[in-house]
Structure 1
Amino acid sequence: MLKLAPFVLLLLYGVAMYWFSSWRTKRELDMQSTPLADARLKALTDRFARAVGVERIKVHIYEIDPVNGLAAPDGRIFITRGFYNKYRRGEVTAEELASVIAHELGHVALGHSRKRMIDFSGTNAVRMALATVFNRFLPGLGVVIANFLVSVLAAKLSRNDEYEADAYASALLVKANIGTGPQKELFRKLDSLTGVGGGMPAWLMSHPKTAERIRAIEENEARWKIAPEG
């Protein structure tokens, strides 16, 4: 039992750090967000609401410039001001932006916030354990090696979540009679919209590469026997 105590403490430390990060994120979002008030987007999210059998889907604008969408740990959906501005300038259609909302709804519906807490706590414990072992043989380098290995593992877990949320979004878009065309078209635009290139090795990325995400959507369409769009 005593031998397990350090690992239990590491897990508890990971949980505590996750909850602190969630609290800090919630506070920042509360201070820097406003409700989304756009008639066209509301009409699309109302279609999502009818498709999943809820009264309304609330979306907020997170007042920061980077192009992104996110699902907060408390289940709220956010689109950044930078992303919304792209839509207002016509660089992104309402249906394309709605596909982002559908993706974030997928994270909420699939319990990814709770899963990330478990993943974060577990990988933190693994990081500390590996660092302790490697430091015995490679003093000074053990932490570096442990951090690298855990980063690869965390990136893999994150990519799996993104694929799952993409699949949920595809199903929701189809059920809402919007289709997957806007979802795939947005992915084709994503690198230019975000200013992020594809130079990083795939196994270090927290999100799958664009071409792989589109391929996964089309594979789902084939399994679901849905005629491809876009």
Structure 2
Amino acid sequence: MTLLAPLILPLVMAYVMYRFSAWQTGKHLDATSKPLRDPELERVMARMAVALEVPKIAVHVYDVEPVNGLAAPDGRIFLTRGFIDRYRQGIVTAEEIAAVVAHELGHVALGHTKRRMIDVTGQNAAFMLIASLLGRFIPIIGFFIASYVTRALGAGLSRKDENEADAYASALLVKAGIGVKPQKSLFQKLDRLTGASGQEVPQWLRSHPKTAERIAAIEARESKWGLR
């Protein structure tokens, strides 16, 4: 048991840290969000609900300015106020908002939100273990190496999840009769909306695939499904 302690302790600590973070996130979202109320958006959400054979797709508005969508650890779907503001300004369409929600639904349906707990726990444990081991031989530098390695690992897993959620969204949008055109047009606007060019981040450290790659993947699905 003594020999296993250096391995078990980081796992336990990482798990506790993640659970606390998930609990804090849930409380924060409860306090800073409200249900989405918009007739046009509710109509397009209803089309996806029919495609999924569920009574309703509930979406919440998270009261922050940055443009983003997210699936919470408990499976709830959120769009930021900044995203809804862009919709009301006519910068994005209801169908493009539906593409965002479809993507976040993909994260939930494919188990990404639940598996993320395992992934983050493992990454935190790996960081603590690597930092501890390297810290004995190369203090300070070992900490940065451990951080870099675990960040690259997490980014790779995140990109995989994003690609899978994109594919799920494409299928759902097609089934709902919305099609993938809004998904592509949203990606064409995304870097400008979020204020991120992504050029300064090495590919292996990016948490999301490059926009051009995501659009190309959608077009490949279009060809495969006979939609082009």
TM-score range, shorter chain: over 0.9
Residue 208 of structure 1 aligns to which amino acid in structure 2? P
Range 198-207 or range 112-121, more displaced: 198-207
Please list every run of 5 or more consecutive structure 1 residues that lacks an aligned counterpart in the other structure.
none
1:143-194 per-position Cα deviation (integer Å, ceiling 9, x unaligned):
1111011101111111111111111100000000101000011000001111
Aligned to 2:46: 46
Deviation at 1:4, TM superposition (A): 1.9
For 2:227, give the aligned amino acid.
A
Letter in 1 for 2:140: G
CA distance in 2, matches of 1:114, 1:2: 31
How far apart are 1:26 and its partner, in Å? 0.7
> Take 2:198 and 2:83, find their aligned partners in 1: how far apart are those partners?
20
- 1:115-130 aligned at under 5 Å gives the runs 115-130=115-130
The alignment's C-alpha RMSD in Å is 1.1
TM-score normalised according to structure 2 size: 0.96
Q: Quick one: which amino acid aligns to residue 16 of structure 1?
A: V
Indicate the SS of the match to 1:116: helix
Structure 1 distance, partners of 2:12, 2:223, is 44
Q: Indicate yes or no: 2:167 matched with 1:167.
A: yes
- Contact persistence 2:131–2:146 (CA under 8 A): yes
- Give the Å deviation of 1:9: 1.8
For 1:7, the equivalent position in structure 2 comes to 7
Contact kept? 2:103, 2:165, Cα under 8 Å: yes
How far does the alpha carbon of each residue in 1:1-50 deviate from its partner, in whole angstroms, 9 at most, with x for none?
Answer: 43222212211211111111111111111111111111111111111111
Q: Distance in 2 between matches of 1:169 and 1:226?
A: 17
- 1:219 and 2:223 matched: no
Task: State which drifts further: 132-141 or 203-212.
Answer: 132-141
2:209 maps to 1:208 = yes
Aligned partners of 2:33, 2:139: CA distance in 1, in Å? Answer: 46
Determine the C-alpha separation between the residues in 2 that align with 1:65 and 1:226: 39
Equivalent residues in 2 for 1:55-74, closer than 5 Å: 55-74=55-74
Q: 1:131 to 1:34 in 2, by over 3 A?
A: same
**What are the residue-to-residue correspondences of 1:20-99 with 2, within 5 Å?**
20-99=20-99
**Percentage identity across paired residues of the two chains:** 57
| Conserved? CA contact 2:18–2:117, under 8 Å | yes
- Count of equivalent residues: 227
Contact 2:6 2:129 in 1 (8 A): no
Q: Distance in 1 between matches of 2:151 and 2:95?
A: 34
Unaligned residue ranges in structure 2 (runs of 5+) = none
Aligned to 2:182: 182
Conservation of the 8 A alpha-carbon contact between 2:10 and 2:125: yes
- Select between 133-142 and 191-200 the one with higher mean Cα deviation: 133-142
Aligned mates of 2:143, 2:14 — CA distance in 1:
17
